[in-house]
A and B are shown apart, each in its own frame.
Chain A
């Protein structure tokens, strides 16, 4: 376990990721709130039950609301706007998560030869999940 200090403002990798963690965290809360408000404006109180509304708030994918009273999800619940929303949420969520994983791993291994190797491996896994998520979004 090594100490981790708040990185000083400069264009270092640690500072950029420190900033990205905060911005993406706030962005995820904001995007969730936007999905929730628009769903309520589209009549979610009558159409969705509580677990379905929660699923839609976390990730506005049409598959998340398919078992509901919505007569046709292609009318308003599945279009290019929601696809862009999903891609942005997936990018922020996956990047935030994998950066957190990197921080935790590097806290426990320290500055050994494993650090750059695991960083490279995590980068590839991050890229894989990003591509897979975009694939799922565009195909659903």
Chain B
């Protein structure tokens, strides 16, 4: 049992380095999006067909800026990281520069996510 826990811990433990951060964020963000989109589709189905209040309740949660900020982080990160993975799979010679590509990915990510955060903060400030 101890060894099973250890191997689980080896998989989850943070061992440093940009590649592992991107790998973990890609997984966590992907799972978060499956849950979010799945619940959203299910809630709209219930609202549309049975007039259930569940969809309205969920929409209120989804509209809140504290839910949107991490969601936009995951969506934008997942998209950019996926593009980097496709690029590396198509041109395997670039694997030599994968750490530099991860830095480039963060440089592209920060202004795009910054723009999303700006609009979310504007929503909080204006109190809508």
Contact A135 B123 (CB under 8 A): no
With both chains docked as a complex, state the minimum distance between the C-beta of B96 and any C-beta of chain A, in angstroms: 17
Contact A139 B42 (CB under 8 A): no
Q: A1-B7, A25-B86 are in contact. Are A132 and B119 (CB under 8 A)?
A: no
Q: A100-B30, A139-B48 are in contact. Are A22 and B37 (CB under 8 A)?
A: no
- The 8 Å CB contact of B41, one of A1, A29, A108, A136, is A136
- The 8 Å CB contact of B79, one of A6, A29, A54, is A29
- Tier of interface size on chain B: 20 to 34
- The 8 Å CB contact of B34, one of A22, A100, A133, is A100
With both chains docked as a complex, state the minimum distance between the C-beta of A89 and any C-beta of chain B, in angstroms: 11
Q: Do most interface residues of chain A lie in helix, strand or loop, or is the interface mixed?
A: helix
Contact B34 A132 (CB under 8 A): no
Contact A140 B89 (CB under 8 A): no
Closest chain A residue to B42 by CB distance? Answer: A132
Contact A132 B45 (CB under 8 A): yes
- Tier of interface size on chain A: 20 to 34
Contact A136 B48 (CB under 8 A): yes
Asked if A20 is at the interface (CB within 8 A of a chain B CB), the reply is: no
Q: Which A residues touch B33, using CB under 8 A? A: 97
Contact B44 A136 (CB under 8 A): yes
A-B contact pairs, 12 of them (CB 8 A): A1-B7, A26-B86, A51-B119, A97-B30, A97-B33, A97-B34, A97-B37, A104-B30, A132-B41, A132-B42, A136-B48, A139-B49
Which residues of B come within 8 Å of A, CB atoms? 7-8, 10-11, 27, 30-31, 33-34, 37-38, 41-42, 44-45, 48-49, 63, 68, 75, 79, 82-83, 85-86, 89, 116, 119, 123
Which residues of A come within 8 Å of B, CB atoms? 1, 6, 22, 25-26, 29, 50-51, 54, 58, 63, 90, 93-94, 97-98, 100-101, 104, 108, 129, 132-133, 135-136, 139-140
